[in-house]
Structures are given as structure tokens and as C-alpha cells.
A and B are shown apart, each in its own frame.
Chain A
Amino acid sequence: MSTTEALVKELVEKNGKTRNSLMPVLQGIVQNERYLSEEALLSVARELDLSAADVYGTASFYTFLDTVPRGKNIIRVCKTITCHMKGKDEIVNSLCNALKIKVGETTHDNKFTLLTANCLGWCHKGPVMLINDEVYPDLTPQKALEIIEEYAKVAQ
């Protein structure tokens, strides 16, 4: 059994073998593997006795349930109005330059994926970004780069 299959089995065991468990199972996979691979989706379909297309269709509805490969750390910069007003473009630009990728891409070393997101709920402290589940409000381009550097160190 591959590690993905084992993970899916474990998640299904923990959450129950019903359709109602689909979200927590998919979330658990993303937590561990950063995205839902073909193998993971098929494994979930098998374990929960759902059609693979249905599992994919459900997953693809949710922004955080990625079905394309993602880096070890997923950066999501809030792009909604107040963060926009407070300089999210500068944050995104400085991250693009530092990581040498465009929005939507993953670095060659697979350490970072840079994405934008709709309102993250920190409008009073924008611009803001999430890295994985951690939140970083009140950003400046400088601050954002320092945070990324910390992650880069850990990821080594």
C-alpha cells in the first residue's frame, strides 16, 4: 500500500465511511500532501464508494482543495478590496520577484506555491497572507520577504 492509500484509509477510518466524511477526508489529505493527486482522489472514491468524477467535482468546487501539485508551503495573498487598497499588489510583486515565479506557480525547489485568495477576513489589518494555515497580517513587502525566508530555512 502506498503512503497515500494508507493515509486515505486512516482518514476514512477516523471520519467514517460515509459521504458526510468526504470533506474532512479531502482536507486531511491536503493537510498532509498539499494537494489531491490522482491517486488520492481514486483512493477516496474507492474507500467511500463514490464515483471518481464526483469526488473530483466536489473537490474542485473548493479553492483550498487543490487538484494540481502544490509546493511544500502554499502562500495565499488576499486580493479583495481593502487588502487591494492597502497594497496587496506590492506584496505579490515582491514575492514574485523573490521566488521567481508568477501567481499560480510553484518554485522549482517545490518549496513555495504563490496564490491569491478572496477575502481572508483581515480587512482591518491588510494586506494579509496565509502560509498554509498560518496568518500574517499587516504586511509590508519587506515583512513578507522576511517571513518567506523563515519558511525557506525550515524547508531545507
Chain B
Amino acid sequence: MEKTLKKVDIIFEIDDKQSPLSILEKTIKRSPDEIILDLIDSGLKGRGGAGFPTGLKWKFARNEDSETKYIICNADEGEPGTFKDREIIDRVPDKILTGMAICGYVVGAKEGFIYLRGEYNFLLKNLQKRVDDYNLGMKKLNFDFTIAIKSGSGAYVCGEESALFESMEGKRGEPRNKPPYPTVAGYNSKPTVINNVETLVYTSMICRMGPEQFKALGTSDSRGSKVFSVSGDTPISGIYELELGMPLNDFVNEFGDGDTKAVQVGGASGHCVPRKKFNDTIIGFEGIPTGGSMMIFNSSRSMYNVLHDYLEFFTEESCGQCTPCRVGCQQLLKGIEAVKRGERPPAYLDDLKKLTGTMKIAAKCGLGQSVGNPFNSIIDNFREEIIY
């Protein structure tokens, strides 16, 4: 099912007739199981990047037998090239809160937290006010759910859900062993649903408009739309909500500056697609999934610098606990430097590629597992730029 680029307006749409709180009011008149069925039917997958089916996640948490459960909004947006959550929090916070409250209703949780990255502290004041108002609104509805904000303090890895729980529990943000998964034992070891900001907004929107309208967008593997953060060599950088399933070529035609040589899809941990593959690359779960980051590079850019930047980022932001990630990132970074300086032969890049194979399957969390994505896609497509 070939799609073309299509702009959509669901996330940021302001509906004067229906406030987010009224969506909650309406939704909690339905049964939790019905809501879960709708979400599953809609095909909504997590918008943070990993793409786990949202309805299933809620169902798992609902099925857990526990007095205490938590809903957490992951607003630790830190993937280089991603800034859509900041925009969503700034412009439509009540829609997020509604998604959290509905989730609380569905899984049987009484408490929700927004984990806001420290870099977004300037949003705190306004967000706190909206949360206070919303809490009051829920009280008036006699709906037993409260939301609070927790702040991060500058650690990319805390976007990893179990690291985020550790951080909320006052510890170093080190990812946990899995299983158990969050829906079984998350924050405070209680069943927890943790969703990305954007995902939560979509859940509230699906509850408002029904699954059909959402499902009608996108492809069978990638239902609906998503918000993209467009940056780099583009005359129109910014936030765009687009239907999923478009070929990258369409995207480049719309956003590129006419000289695009590569697009990094999915942020630093995503894949680098060179010009020759724009046509064959679908943006979606069947092609290259993305948390929304689209970084465009034109022919003036050195892909060595791009990769070097990414690797420096991961080397610093690795939590450092597991061997493949802590040492692997350093080896990749110092490795390309050594090749560039001629201290190692070009073939050393192949040793490093093999190393990313180990990192991909043996690192403890998604951070270490995904460093190979940018590494291999840049080495494979721009090998000369790395060596010379």
C-alpha cells in the first residue's frame, strides 16, 4: 500500500467544542475492555521509537493483580534530532493528561507521573499549572486520579523506561534486567504503563474520534500518523504531523534543500539513508521506524563528522554499566578516529562493524543495542568519507 506524503492535524488540533477533560468524562463512561479493544483495533504503536502496540501494553497492565499501579508519561525526549514532545507539552498539555487519566482508568491506577527532562525545565511552570488545573478537573468529575511531575537532570539513557524508573526512585539511571517488564514490575516495582508523550495524545484522540479514523491513515504495519521533527539542511525545519508509510523520497522532496545527500531517520540511534535509497525507503514500521527525528544532510556535510558526533554522544550518554555499550561505544569512536588518522587500516572498520553486531544483541538496553544502526548505515554508505 504505497502512500504519499500527507500532512495531518490530529495532535495539535484545538477543538473548541470538546475539551480534553470532556473526552475523559465521556471515555470513562465506557468499559476499560472496550477502550482497550479500540486501541488494539486502531493499530496504534508506541511513538517513542520502539513501537510496542499501545493497546496490548495497557491490557497487560490491566491484567496485573495489584493494589498499586502507575501511569508514567515519558517526557525525557533526548534523542538527537527530536523535539516534538517539547512542542506537544507546550501546546497541548491537556491532551497528554487526558491520555494518562484514561490509561489510569483502564489499568486501574490512581497515580500518574510525567518525567520531564531537565533540559525542558523552562516548561515546568506552565505545565505544573495545567496539571494542577487538570487534577482539579478530575476531582470535580469524582475521578480518582492524580498527576505529578518529576524532573530529570540531564541523562539521555533515562528515556529508557527502566532507567527512568530507577531515576524516579532516586538512583542512577541504569537500565534494569528484563524480564520483568514494566507492566509487571515498573516504578516502585509495581505494574506500570509507561508511554511516550505523543502516544498518550493519540490515545486520547482515538478515544475521541474512534479507531476508524486513525486506522484509515497509514499502512497495515504503520497505522495512523505521527509527529516528525525535521532539522538539518532544510529551509523549513520544524514540527510536522505526517501520515505514516510515505517513501523517504517524498519527504526529501518536501523538506530537502535540493541538495540532500542523506537523511538520518530516527535520530542518532536511527539509520542513515543515502540519496540512492530514498525511493526504496518507507518511513514506518515496515521500513525504517522513527521516533520522529528526521535530520537532513546536504552534500556540504562530512558524514565522518556526523558519525563522530553521534558516537561521542553515545560514549558520553551510555550509563556505563554493561560492557558492550560502555567499552563498545568508546571503541567505535576511537576506532574511526584511528582509521581517519591512518593508525588502523580501512579494514578495521569491518572489525568494528562486527563489534556492533555483538552490541546489538548483547547490550543490556536499547541504547547499546542501537549504536550499530548509525554506525553501519554510515560506514556502509559513506565508507570513503570515513577513511579519507
| C-alpha spacing A125/B229, complex, angstroms | 11
Question: Quick check: B153 and A26 within 8 Å, CB to CB?
Answer: yes
Using an 8 Å CB-CB cutoff, how does the interface string of B15-57 with A read, 1 for contact, 0 for none? 0000000000000000000000000000000000000000000
Chain B interface extent, by class: 35 or more
B122 and A134 contact, CB distance less than 8 A: yes
The answer to whether A82 and B232 touch across the interface, beta carbons within 8 angstroms, is yes
Q: Are A133 and B121 in contact (CB under 8 A)?
A: yes
Chain A residues close to B by CB (< 8 Å) = 18-24, 26-27, 30, 57-58, 61-65, 80-82, 84-85, 117-126, 130, 133-135
21 residue pairs of the A-B complex, CB under 8 angstroms, read: A19-B171, A20-B188, A22-B171, A23-B150, A62-B152, A81-B306, A82-B295, A84-B309, A118-B80, A118-B316, A119-B79, A120-B119, A121-B86, A123-B80, A123-B81, A123-B229, A123-B232, A124-B83, A130-B119, A133-B121, A135-B122
- A20 in contact with B170 given A63-B155, A124-B230 (CB within 8 Å): yes
- Tell me if A27 and B232 are in contact (CB < 8 A): no
Which of A18, A23, A82, A84 makes the CB contact (< 8 A) with B167? A23
Minimum-distance CB pairs A-B, first 6? A22-B170, A63-B154, A124-B237, A123-B231, A62-B153, A64-B154
Q: Which residue of B lies closest to A78 (CB)?
A: B119
B80-94 at interface with A (beta carbon < 8 Å): 80-83, 85-86
B105 on interface, CB distance cutoff 8 Å: no
C-alpha spacing A85/B257, complex, angstroms: 15
Are A23 and B268 touching (Cβ within 8 A)?
no
A65 to B229 alpha-carbon distance, docked (Å)? 28
**In whole angstroms, what is the CA distance A26 to B151 when docked?**
11
Across the interface, name the chain B residue whose C-beta is closest to A55.
B170
Which residues of B226-264 are within 8 A (CB) of A? 229-233, 237-239
- Asked if B77 CB lies within 8 Å of chain A CBs, one says yes
Q: Knowing A20-B170, A81-B268, A82-B81, say if A121 contacts B153 (CB, 8 Å).
A: no
Contact flags B165-184 to A (C-beta < 8 A → 1, else 0): 00111111100000000000
B173: chain A residues at CB < 8 Å are: 61-62
B residues near A (Cβ < 8 Å) are: 77-83, 85-86, 117-122, 124, 150-156, 167-173, 188, 229-233, 237-239, 268, 293, 295, 297, 301, 305-306, 309-310, 313, 316-317, 319
From A58, A124, A130, B171 is in contact (CB under 8 Å) with: A58
How far is it, in angstroms, between the C-alpha of A123 and the C-alpha of B77 when the chains are bound? 12
Closest A residue by C-beta to B239: A124
A81 adjacent to B309 (CB under 8 Å): yes
Chain B residues with Cβ under 8 A from A57's Cβ? 172
CB distance B310 to A81 under 8 Å? yes
B168 touches A23 (CB 8 A): yes
Chain B residues near A125 (CB-CB < 8 A): 237
Q: Taking A58-B172, A80-B313, A122-B83 as contacts, is the C-beta distance between A23 and B295 under 8 angstroms?
A: no
Residue in A closest to B77 when the chains form the complex, CB atoms? A121
Residues of A within 8 A of B82 (CB): 119, 121, 123
Closest CB in chain A relative to B332 CB, distance in Å = 16
Contact between B78 and A119 (Cβ–Cβ < 8 Å)?
yes
Query: A80 touching B172 by the CB < 8 A rule?
Result: no
Residues of A close to B150: CB separation below 8 A: 23-24
Q: Report yes or no: A119 in contact with B170, Cβ–Cβ below 8 A.
A: no
A126–B305 CA distance with the chains assembled, in angstroms: 17
* Alpha-carbon gap, A120 to B86, bound state (A): 10
* Closest A residue, CB atoms, query B187: A20
CB distance from B251 to the nearest CB of A (A): 15
In the bound complex, residues from chain A placing their C-beta under 8 Å from that of B86 are 121
B77 CB to nearest chain A CB (Å): 6
Contact A124 B229 (CB under 8 A): yes
- The residue on B at minimum CB distance from A122 is B83
What are the residues of chain B within 8 A of A126 when measuring CB–CB? Answer: 231
Q: Which residues of B contact A134 (CB under 8 A)?
A: 122
Residues of B within 8 A of A62 (CB): 118, 152-155, 173
Q: Are A121 and B172 in contact, with the CB atoms below 8 A?
A: no
Q: How far is the CA of A80 from the CA of B345 in the complex (A)?
A: 28
B81 contacts which chain A residues (CB < 8 A)? 81-82, 119, 123
Q: Name the contact of A82 in the complex, choosing from B85, B119, B168, B231 (C-beta under 8 A).
A: B231
Interface centre among B151, B238, B309 (most CB of A within 10 A): B309
Cα distance, A53 to B216, chains bound together (Å): 55
Closest CB of chain B to A137's CB: distance in Å? 10
Quick one: which of A18, A19, A62, A119 has the most chain B CB within 10 A?
A119
Q: Are B78 and A118 in contact (CB under 8 A)?
A: yes
Q: Give the docked Cα–Cα distance between A43 and B291 (Å).
A: 41
A61 touching B172 by the CB < 8 A rule?
yes
Q: How far is the CB of A139 from chain B (nearest CB, A)?
A: 15
Our pick among A19, A23, A27, A81 for the contact of B80 (Cβ within 8 Å) is: A81
